[in-house]
Amino acid sequence: MKLMARTKYTVEKVLYFANQKSALHVGPNEEKIDSDLHRTVQALVEKGDIHLCGTDDSGEYFKTTKSGEIHLLKLQIAWRKAHQKDVADHQAALTLLTA
C-alpha cells in the first residue's frame, strides 16, 4: 500500500498568501519538481481564484481575484466554525464582497 505524502500547501494557504499585499511567490523549480504548490496554483488559476500579477528572475507572483477572496473567506469561516472561533469579522467581509 502506497502512502500519500502530506500536502504542504493547501488551497487555503495558497489563497491566504496570494491575498497578502506582497502576493504569493512561486519559484521556477516548483514546476520542475511538480510540487503540491505548483499543482495547487495551477488549479486555482484555472478556476479563476488567482491570477499572475508579475514575474522576475526569481519566479512568478500571484494575487487573488474577487472569487479567490470569496473562496478564502468561506474556507476561513468553515475552519473557524469547526474550531469554535468567532466568525463575525470574516462573515462581514464576505457579505461586503458578495453584495
Q: What is the chain's length?
A: 99
d(CA 42, CA 50): 9
Instruction: Please indicate, yes or no, if residue 1 is contained in any of the structural domains.
Output: no
Domain contains 86: yes
Whole domain around residue 19: which residue ranges? 11-98
The total number of structural domains in the chain stands at 1
* pLDDT reported for residue 5: 56
Q: Encode pLDDT of 61-85 as tens digits.
A: 999 999 999 999 999 999 999 999 9
Confirm whether 2 is domain-assigned: no
Q: Is residue 5 part of a domain?
A: no
Nearest Cα to Cα of residue 69 among 85, 83, 86, 90: 90
How confident is the model at residue 3, as a pLDDT?
A: 46
pTM equals 0.89
State residue 19's pLDDT score.
98
The domain that holds 24 is classified in CATH as 1.10.10
Secondary structure letter of residue 3 according to DSSP? P
- 59 domain-assigned: yes
